[in-house]
Structure 1
Amino acid sequence: MDGFLNVLKPPGMTSHDVVAFLRKKLNIKKIGHLGTLDPGAAGVLPISIGKATRLSQYIFDLKKSYRAEITFGFSTDTLDKYGNIVEVTPVRQFTNDILENVIKKFEGNILQIPPIYSAKKINGKKLYEYARAGKEINIKPSTINIYEIKVLSYEIPYKLLIDVKCSKGTYIRALVRDICKSLSVAGYMSMLIRTSVGLFNIDNSYTLEDIKLDNYKLLDMDSILSLPSVYLDYIDSKKIMHGQCIENKYLFNTEKIVKLYNSDKMFIGIGNIRNSKIYVERLLFGAEE
């Protein structure tokens, strides 16, 4: 069993919990996830199964989208509803112009400081480990890209619902923190749903109940790899599947990572074109697999 599975993670489970559930259900050890989703959040959690776990490093720049609810009035140390209250402020009504002007400031390439309660690692330790130990640590900002923020609804004056399209590495809790700071009001992320990760969309995701009932379908291993395709002839297929490099007579004037297909048009792995040759980068099927 090899491929990717689009799982709809329920709130209350960690990404690791979902992987453990799938290992038991599918009776396979080689299972991983593409990007952690907070335990309190729900939504799309892409899962790699079998040989697909060996392709994670070739899945580049998956854009993500989220639906988040901001509740104004107080903030927490975890930036969501599960933390301890650290600040309380009066709540006032915002005009549409104020909301739009503040939100637009966060679109584009911006610097963001990750939440102290997060799994991001510094010096080999996760940030939440420092937080739980009461240790202060200097957290450097990361560059992220917010492609779009859209206001869906405003329940005056307490709740704001937004959709966010962003790059990998974006923390929506931190975005909510910074939006509230710009509005000069305390607030926290009261709900989060991840609606897409690359080609994985919430509309075609599978619940854990679906998976229990075997009502799911795996995505082909090559289907989400945004790489050029090279279809090898019979001789070159045999050489590549034995780990040999071959002359590049397929894609010219280029040096890049590519998807390799044998003469039967079956996806067999990842190749690396350089110096007019194609080298094996990751072989999934073949004598040297």
Structure 2
Amino acid sequence: YSMDEVKRAFDVFVGGYLQTPPLFSAKHKDGKRFYDIARAGESALPENMLPEPEFVDLFDYQIFDYDDKTHKVLFSIDVGRGFYVRSFVEDVARHLGDIATLLSLRRVKAGYFSLDKAINIDSIEARGDIERLSISLEEATSMLPTVIVNDDTARKVSHGGKLKADIFNEISGFVRIVNKNNRVLAIGISEMGHFKYNVVLGDDE
């Protein structure tokens, strides 16, 4: 395949597509994780027991290198939650009428966190200024949908109190709750009109 053919295959998936998760994944089926099923040797599963396709986002990609003899591709992709790179590689190859496997994977960014902002342990010990190098809780959770609450609700949140569903404005998934000063009070999951705390982060001040 030429570089242009490989790029055209990548282009097919930009914008998102229905992706089937790999059998070795953390997805559930009938209360079991698929990687547990696979490790138990149940690899030849009937069609109705395989992971179901889910829509995933592929925002952009960049191909850095391509060897037209070995067909090895070095690339980066910007993707959304729940995206399996192993499956993507297989899907690209399938589109080209071939098979492929993922040789290595390096995650360079997840939400606010990226490798270019990372500092190794030795550097922290050498510089001895942990506070200045630390990321605040507010920064670390800034990618989450946010609900700002008034003082009365903030006090309720600080004690893990039950909240009215309407304050989440149809937010689904992980959400952080902050007070009027943007201090993070709690993180939890909002789903189908219910909110479940994952962690309460101290008293409101």
- TM-score, L = length of structure 1: 0.50
CA contact (8 A) 2:158 2:186 kept: no
Distance 2:104 2:160 in 1: 49
The residue that corresponds to 1:260 in the other structure is 178
Distance 1:190 1:129 in 2: 23
Specify the SS of the correspondent of 1:192.
coil
Judging changes above 3 Å, is the alpha-carbon distance between structure 1 residues 244 and 120 closer, same or farther for their aligned structure 2 residues? closer
Q: Higher relative contact order at CA 8 Å, sep ≥6: structure 1 or structure 2?
A: 1
- Residues 160-169 or 130-139, more deviating: 130-139
Specify the SS of the correspondent of 2:102.
strand
CA contact (8 A) 1:268 1:283 kept: no
The residue that corresponds to 1:96 in the other structure is 3
The residue that corresponds to 2:20 in the other structure is 113
The residue that corresponds to 2:51 in the other structure is 139
The residue that corresponds to 1:206 in the other structure is 119
Counting aligned pairs with the same residue, the percent is: 22
The residue that corresponds to 1:183 in the other structure is 96
Specify the SS of the correspondent of 2:21.
coil
The residue that corresponds to 2:78 in the other structure is 165
Map Cα deviations across residues 157-207 of structure 1 (whole Å, 9 max, x no partner): 221111111111111011011111122233211111111111111101234
Distance 2:85 2:177 in 1: 33
Distance 2:37 2:153 in 1: 52
More strand by share: 1
Specify the SS of the correspondent of 1:185.
coil
Unmatched 5+ residue regions in structure 2?
170-174, 189-194
CA contact (8 A) 1:260 1:271 kept: no
CA contact (8 A) 2:18 2:54 kept: yes
RMSD: 3.7
CA contact (8 A) 1:241 1:286 kept: yes
Aligned residue runs from structure 1 range 182-261, under 5 A:
182-207=95-120, 209-210=122-123, 217-223=133-139, 224-225=141-142, 226-228=144-146, 230=148, 256=169, 259-261=177-179
Specify the SS of the correspondent of 1:190.
coil
Map Cα deviations across residues 219-251 of structure 1 (whole Å, 9 max, x no partner): 222222344574856x88667656789xxxxxx
What is the letter of the counterpart of residue 133 of structure 1? A
CA contact (8 A) 2:57 2:79 kept: yes
The residue that corresponds to 2:63 in the other structure is 151
Distance 1:115 1:271 in 2: 30
What is the letter of the counterpart of residue 194 of structure 1? R
The residue that corresponds to 2:172 in the other structure is none
Distance 2:111 2:90 in 1: 25
Judging changes above 3 Å, is the alpha-carbon distance between structure 1 residues 120 and 212 closer, same or farther for their aligned structure 2 residues? farther
Question: How many residue pairs end up in the alignment?
Answer: 179
Specify the SS of the correspondent of 1:103.
helix
Specify the SS of the correspondent of 1:187.
coil
What is the letter of the counterpart of residue 197 of structure 1? A
- TM-score, L = length of structure 2: 0.68
Distance 1:154 1:134 in 2: 36
More helix by share: 2
What is the letter of the counterpart of residue 144 of structure 1? V
Unmatched 5+ residue regions in structure 1?
1-93, 246-253, 273-278
1:123 CA displacement: 2.1
CA contact (8 A) 1:222 1:259 kept: no
